């Protein structure tokens, strides 16, 4: 499996969201830290699946482990590794069975700006994404991501400290 785009996202990205591209249909847009965007000719769900596969993670295992911690069954943030926690937000009204969820890196979110009762701008460096949630929900999601990241650290840190690294 080709992980080139996943590695690019992990190195330079802030978020990936589903978009409709004229004459191509459902695609994924990756927002990069320098303010540029890269549109890939694959569905957002496929890119997300490849990202999870890269880390050996699954949505159902994450939901099972952390959903109860944050009191959610849907839109549960996903901790992939130390400092790599994805926060889900609804970013569009779907056409048919298209996905409506975009994923933002928690550490890249700098602030929120209310646009209306049900729309909020999420600011990440030079990028801004409008999500279809209240500002309060957005703050809650970021708080949930922080809780999950702390829990992830508590689960994995004791094992990491026991690893023995040798130079030869």
What pLDDT score does 88 carry? 97
Residue 165 has pLDDT above 80, yes or no: no
What pLDDT score does 129 carry? 97
Burial of 24 by CB count in 10 Å (0-12 exposed, 13-18 middle, 19+ buried)? exposed
Any bridge partners for residue 27, and if so which? 19
| Mean pLDDT in residue range 84-89 | 96
- CA–CA separation, 148 and 144 (whole Å): 6
């Amino acid at each position: 499996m080709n992980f080139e785009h996943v590695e690019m996202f992990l190195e330079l990205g802030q978020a990936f969201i589903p978009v409709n591209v004229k004459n191509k249909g459902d695609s994924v847009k990756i927002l990069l830290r320098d303010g540029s965007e890269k549109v890939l000719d694959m569905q957002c769900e496929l890119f997300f699946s490849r990202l999870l596969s890269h880390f050996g993670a699954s949505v159902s295992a994450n939901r099972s482990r952390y959903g109860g911690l944050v009191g959610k069954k849907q839109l549960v943030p996903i901790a992939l590794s130390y400092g790599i926690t994805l926060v889900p937000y609804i970013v569009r009204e779907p056409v048919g069975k298209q996905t409506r969820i975009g994923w933002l890196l928690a550490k890249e979110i700098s602030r929120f700006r209310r646009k209306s009762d049900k729309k909020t701008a999420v600011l990440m460096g030079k990028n801004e994404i409008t999500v279809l949630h209240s500002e309060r929900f957005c703050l809650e999601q970021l708080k949930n991501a922080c809780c999950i990241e702390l829990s992830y650290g508590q689960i994995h840190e004791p094992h990491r400290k026991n690893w023995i690294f040798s130079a030869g």
